[in-house]
Amino acid sequence: MAERAGMLLADASEADWAAVFAHAHLARYAPGEVIAEVGQDEESLYVVVQGEVDVLVPAKRTGRLAPVSQLQAGDVFGEVSFFDGQPRSAEVRAASDVVLAGLDHAGFAGLSASHPQIANRLLLDLGRILSGRLRAAEQRTK
């Protein structure tokens, strides 16, 4: 699979992923189910393990939700709330049958304690993904 901008730990081994998943919680969603809501207080970040999810944000003029991206296996979402502790800024819906791995602060602390190198790589990769998303947003406003 080719690496995509939002793909987390694209070069990780199966053992690396097993370490991450050991500290995560798995969740399944059916097509159309809402996974995250705008304004929701929840600080987990999620990796799409299987399936696709749609990301929607409120339009400035109408406040109606408008699609901005579709994420697939290997992509991550929820990282902003994970870092800043603020409510969700987007709605995420399952576009197909979806399996997600959620990592909350306690899970990350466990990963960091047991596999500090993987946790460090995860943080650096999240920074890369956030930077790429910020640059893309800046380009849309020009």
Q: Indicate the domain borders of the chain.
A: 14-135
What is the mean predicted confidence (pLDDT) over 9-14? 92
Alpha-carbon span 83 to 101, nearest angstrom: 17
DSSP code string of 14-52 = HHHHHHHHHTSEEEEE-TT-EEE-TT-----EEEEEESE
pLDDT at 4: 64
- Residue-wise pLDDT for 106-129, tens only, equals 999 999 999 999 999 999 999 999
SS3 103: strand
What is the mean predicted confidence (pLDDT) over 2-25? 87
In total, the chain counts a number of residues equal to 142
Q: What is the mean pLDDT of the chain?
A: 92
The answer to whether 98 and 53 have CB atoms below 8 angstroms apart is yes
Kindly state which CATH superfamily the domain 14-135 is placed in.
Answer: Jelly Rolls (2.60.120.10)
What is the mean predicted confidence (pLDDT) over 131-138? 84
